[in-house]
Amino acid sequence: MRGEDQKQTAIYSYATLEARIPADHPARQIRAMANRALARLDAEFEKLYSSTGRPSIAPERLLRATLLMVLYSIRSERQLMEQLNYNLLFR
């Protein structure tokens, strides 16, 4: 079963991540382009996943993570998870 691509907000943060990243940062444009491309693939993803069972991690989220790895030369998923803890831009 395909998982939902839900956004999670921090419990104790008083400023949103959107407010912390400059409006003209290139990552914003790249994310917007990636989101448009992933939205076009939504029907294809839906066909690939069963309607029963436990929800998976949303394929959109996995592809965005892979894009970050490529753009920022992160060599492994372990390193990506480490960077996610330190770099607010990735969130």
Which helix (H) or strand (E) covers residue 49, if one does? none
Tokens standing for residue 12: 């104790």
Quote the pLDDT of residue 4: 81
Nearest to 39 by CA among 64, 57, 22: 64
pLDDT in tens, the chain (91 residues): 788 887 766 566 677 777 878 889 898 899 999 999 999 999 999 999 988 999 999 999 999 999 999 998 999 999 988 888 888 777 6
Domain-wise residue ranges, the chain:
17-90
Quote the pLDDT of residue 11: 62
Looking at the whole model, is its pTM more than 0.75?
no
d(CA 25, CA 54): 37
The answer to whether residues 28 and 34 touch, using CB atoms and an 8 Å cutoff, is no
Quote the pLDDT of residue 75: 94
